[in-house]
Amino acid sequence: MAGTRNSQVFRIAVSGYYGFRNSGDEAVLRSILLALEKAAAEQGVQVQPVVLSADPEWTSRMYGVESAHRMRPGDLLRTLRSCDGLISGGGSLLQDVTSAKTIPYYVGVLKLAQWLGKPTFVYAQGIGPVNRRAMYPLIRSAMRRSRYVSVRDAESAALLARMGVSPDRIEVVPDPVMGLPLPPGTVPAARGGAAAETPPVLGVSLRRWREDGADMARAAEALVALSKRRPVRLRFLPFHTPSDGVTSELVMERLSGRLGEGSSAELAAPGDDPQAMLLEVSRCDALLGMRLHALIYAANQRVPLLGLSYDPKIDQFLNRLGLTPIGSTESLDPEAFADAACALLDAPEAWRDRYGPAIEELKQQASNPAQQIVRDLRHNRSR
């Protein structure tokens, strides 16, 4: 049992890629915190999160919660000892594409909590790619000992099953950000569309993936092709600072002097708050996204979207909506992109009518993990 004396108060550590000012991961954290707060209120208890962060002071200021440094063993151990359980997730934590150290770190946090006798909960994670099969036993062990395991797509569930985790223990749920609300007191601006006097806004979220920059060159050509078809306001949205801002500026340089008449390009600066970025996306008429959470933000706000794939997680999210990518980092046809983008900008309601039901279902399911975790904590405390 943890150090909280009040039977109606639960301290729970939250582990993820937090404190790095990545809008997508910060949106995951904000979504989890809000979902836990709502679930706790509905079940008549309180949850006190303690976030494991790369920048605890910033995280505490941003979210109004207690934080501890994720890379300081002493802080980590004290935090886990003081808590009633650990949430791992969401996001793409258990993958070895970005670094070989990622899986050992996140599995290590899970295993430490389990060694301390704390219940662990895996919250809407995207599992994989896992190219190093030596990681399979580590992941399998941590998952088998977790009280609750949820993943954000069927492909992640299938990968865990291949590792030896029983499919009966895995719940497929939406990414938590599908449930993220706009900032309190704000509403999305009226969207433009084909009949508006001003050009419609196409949100653009790009990240550099190929070392030679060929993917960004293809994206620039596609945007030029669109601008030749119709006036459009290209609003670049940096989801990871400063890298996405630098990438956006490089692409904008490629567009300089080449856009069609009446078209323009600009760089947004929504700041660090993920809900502020969600508001930015809500004010777009359509969105071209490479970043997964740019696409999730758009779906959350029912903004017609086109996905540019650089990782299986992009394809997997689009598949849940019944969509496929418009291209990838290896191939993007400018005219096909212009065709698709014009169709979205000219008839956004048709897109919403077609894909709205799938989006609504995901939004309704987004709080399922939080409800289950709070329920489990209450049941465990009452035994």
CA distance 18 to 245: 19
CA distance 269 to 280: 9
Q: Is the dihedral of CA 135, 140, 141, 146 positive or negative?
A: positive
CA distance 175 to 43: 22
Residue 89: strand pairing partners: 123
The amino acid present at 353, given as its one-letter code, is D
SS3 48: strand
CA-based nearest residue to 38, from 381, 369, 376? 369
| Cα–Cα distance list, 230 to 132, 233, 349 (Å) | 47, 10, 19
CA distance 65 to 53: 11
SS3 170: strand
CA-based nearest residue to 306, from 350, 276, 336? 336
Judge whether 133 and 106 are in contact, CB under 8 Å.
no
CATH 3.40.50.2000 range(s) for the chain read 201-361
CA-based nearest residue to 308, from 206, 239, 227, 237? 206
CA distance 96 to 117: 27
Q: Which CATH superfamily is domain 9-173+366-382 in?
A: NAD(P)-binding Rossmann-like Domain (3.40.50.720)
CA-based nearest residue to 239, from 8, 26, 44? 26
The pLDDT of residue 192 is 53
CA distance 268 to 326: 23
Q: Tokens 């993917």, residue?
A: 215
The pLDDT of residue 138 is 97
The amino acid present at 7, given as its one-letter code, is S
The pLDDT of residue 3 is 44
CATH 3.40.50.720 range(s) for the chain read 9-173+366-382
The amino acid present at 316, given as its one-letter code, is Q
The pLDDT of residue 148 is 98
296-320, pLDDT tens digit by residue?
999 999 999 999 999 999 999 999 9
Q: Tokens 């949430």, residue?
A: 87
Q: Burial, 74: exposed, middle or buried (Cβ in 10 Å; 0-12, 13-18, 19+)? A: exposed
CA distance 90 to 178: 12
CATH class of segment(s) 201-361: alpha beta
Judge whether 149 and 170 are in contact, CB under 8 Å.
yes
Which segments of the chain does DSSP mark as H helices, in order?
23-42, 56-63, 73-82, 102-115, 136-144, 154-163, 214-229, 243-255, 274-282, 292-300, 312-321, 334-346, 348-365, 368-382
Q: From first to last of the 383 residues of the chain, give the pLDDT tens digit.
A: 444 456 699 999 999 999 999 889 999 999 999 999 999 999 999 999 999 999 999 999 999 999 999 999 999 999 999 999 999 998 999 999 989 999 999 999 999 999 999 999 999 999 999 999 999 999 999 999 999 999 999 999 999 999 999 999 999 999 999 999 999 998 866 655 545 679 999 999 999 999 999 999 999 999 999 999 999 999 999 999 889 999 999 999 999 999 999 999 999 987 789 999 999 999 999 999 999 999 999 999 999 999 999 999 999 999 999 999 999 999 999 999 999 999 999 999 999 999 999 999 999 999 999 999 999 999 887 66
The pLDDT of residue 191 is 59
| Cα–Cα distance list, 239 to 66, 124, 203 (Å) | 25, 20, 12
176-205, pLDDT tens digit by residue?
999 999 999 988 666 555 456 799 999 999
SS3 284: coil
Beginning with the edge strand found earlier in the chain, give each strand of the sheet holding 201-205 in spatial order: 264-267, 233-236, 201-205, 286-289, 305-309, 327-328
Contacts of 287 by beta carbon, 8 Å cutoff, 6+ apart: 202, 203, 204, 205, 281, 294, 295, 297, 298, 303, 304, 305, 306
Residue 150: strand pairing partners: 171
CA distance 187 to 170: 36
pTM of the model: 0.91
CA distance 175 to 194: 31
